Amino acid sequence: MSNKVFTPENISKLKQNEVFVFGSNKAGNHVGGAARVAVEKFGAIMGHGEGLQGQSYAIPTLDEQMDKVSTEELTRSVRRFADYTRYNTDKVFYVTKIGCGIAGFSVEEIVEVFKSVSFGDNVVLPQEFGEEKHIDGFKGFNADMTCLGFKFEEGKTYEEDVELKVCNRGFHFCESPFSVLSYRDMLDDECKFIPVHHVTALGQCHSDSDKTATTKIHIGAKLDFKGFIKAGIDFIYEKCIKEGPTDNVNSGDDTKIGSSGYGAQIGSSGYLAKIGSSGYGAQIGSSGDLAQIGSSGYLAKIGSSGDGAQIGSSGDLAQIGSSGDGAKIGS
């Protein structure tokens, strides 16, 4: 992107909506490097090893014994941070060169971690971390493999030099298989599943909510209905079980796990709730006006009851295994 901004080498003050992102240890002993700066200047709290603290956000690169965490564990922490930034777009997050000091990671190791995670425009990275990505996702096409007038083919890679904007410029996709259903129907006019393709973003990326645009994309294998559901369940397991925090369950407008809030995602009731929830944007095991899976909502799609429900549902536009005025199968 033009006029790209990077994290300054030294940050001594922040605007009210800005956040200092630093590498920490799980014990929350913020005694050296950027962690010490976070305590002295930006409200970091001793004993808190991860998450937002004042105008700072801690990403653990060391465990409680001050040993380096695995790259897999660090990646999960970075993804939790990315999720937080998506639901707090009023803030700007300046990421320091986490892990490259006391923790002992090489710049190359940290670059590989950040290449696998997408961020919005409210996240500023060090220049050393680069802009190219390697992010797996899913994309739906029209029947002729077109999207926004662009013709794609399975197995090929496409690249264009544009300033990214989701659903406008660049190649867009969703990281969650089920999120694809927010942007296109799951069934055609004959009630047959419309295939979804696995894709990989290889260039610069820009995320907006649950959708990402990239300058370079590889079109992978086509998923049938069974493969689509499996991919969705695998994504939920990875996101919610393996990556999700195990404590500090809260309720609030930005809470995500076991919560009730407008941005709640898991086991929650909120207007943007997504999993095991009741909310207007709920997606899985939920009741909400935009609920999609195992839900009751006006646009619910799978195992749901709603006016736009499609599978195993009861609703006026329900389509499969449903009861509704527009139901089509098993209804």
| pLDDT band, residue 245 (cuts 50/70/90) | low
| pLDDT band, residue 205 (cuts 50/70/90) | confident
d(CA 107, CA 109): 5
CA distances from 54 to 35, 36, 37, 41, 182 (A): 13, 14, 13, 10, 34
pLDDT value of position 129: 86
Q: Provide the 8-state DSSP code for 181.
A: G
pLDDT value of position 243: 62
CA distances from 150 to 163, 180, 207 (A): 17, 18, 20
CA distances from 228 to 23, 176, 186, 193 (A): 36, 10, 10, 10
Mean pLDDT for 285-290 is 44
Mean pLDDT for 203-217 is 84
Range in 205-209, 211-215, 301-305 the model is least confident about: 301-305
Residue % of the chain over a pLDDT of 90: 46
pLDDT value of position 120: 84
pLDDT value of position 100: 92
pLDDT greater at residue 226 or residue 255: 226
CA distances from 102 to 7, 35, 52 (A): 19, 10, 21
What is the domain partition of the chain in residue ranges?
18-129, 135-241, 256-329
Q: Are 232 and 274 in contact (CB under 8 A)?
A: no
CATH assignment of 18-129, given 3.40.50.720, 2.40.50.140, 3.40.220.10, 3.30.450.150?
Answer: 3.40.220.10
pLDDT reading at 240 higher than 80 = no
Tokens describing residue 113: 């971690």
pLDDT value of position 244: 60
What confidence tens digit (pLDDT) does each residue in 142-195 have?
A: 888 988 888 999 999 999 887 777 777 668 999 999 999 998 888 988 999 988
d(CA 16, CA 229): 43
What confidence tens digit (pLDDT) does each residue in 60-79 have?
A: 999 999 999 999 999 999 99
pLDDT reading at 219 higher than 90 = yes
Q: Are 42 and 54 in contact (CB under 8 A)?
A: yes
| pLDDT band, residue 4 (cuts 50/70/90) | low
pLDDT value of position 248: 43
pLDDT value of position 312: 47
Mean pLDDT for 114-129 is 89
pLDDT greater at residue 255 or residue 132: 132
* pTM (predicted TM-score): 0.58
- Per the prediction, the chain carries an average pLDDT of 78
Tokens describing residue 304: 């749901």
pLDDT reading at 3 higher than 90 = no
pLDDT reading at 251 higher than 80 = no
What confidence tens digit (pLDDT) does each residue in 30-65 have?
A: 999 999 999 999 999 999 999 999 999 999 999 999
pLDDT value of position 242: 62
Residue % of the chain over a pLDDT of 70: 70
pLDDT reading at 275 higher than 50 = no
pLDDT value of position 124: 93
